[in-house]
Amino acid sequence: MATAYINTPLGSAKLEGDENGLTYVTVLETDEPESKIIPEDLEDAVYQLNEYFEGKRQNFDLLLNPEGTEFQKKVWAALLEIPFGKTISYLELSKSLGDVKAIRAVASANGKNPLWIIIPCHRVIGSDGSLTGYAGGLHRKKWLLNHESPSKQQTLF
């Protein structure tokens, strides 16, 4: 399994994968030095993530190989259908998977997403529009949603 570290506006990120695809991307709570040499199996992921953060990429075209249960993989596949710049609620996500009563299981699977940003779990919000639950921290979720917003607001400060 190849590993690389990159710097992002939200902190250091760790990537893991091999010839079968990208298995893991997460933001770290500690700063790690950026990898000087990127393993070949991770080059596309690093390139595409950098483009995303530069505002040049809205969709990823990568071979993915996340580890999880069949249910988790079903939820993660549904997350991949949420368009850039859009959000849906956990309730809407549960409905799209065919079981409104599975909302807690769907939220749990969402929280276990091993491919930060690539599988856009940050695009799922509370039914009331609140930024609920995000393993990377709500400040990062807010940043990501603002980064993807079609109407960039200017700040006064």
Positions marked active-site: 121
- Amino acid identity at 16: E
3 state SS of 92? helix
Place of tokens 């530069």: 54
**Per residue, what are the HEC states of 97-157?**
CCCHHHHHHHHHHHHCCCECCCCCHHHEECCCCCCCCCCCCHHHHHHHHHHHCCCCCCCCC
What are the Cα distances from residue 126, in Å, to 81, 92, 130? 18, 10, 5
Residue 91's alpha-carbon distances to 15, 84, 128, 132, in angstroms, are 30, 19, 10, 12
Contact of 85 with 149, CB cutoff 8 Å: yes
φ/ψ of residue 14, rounded to 5 = -110, 135
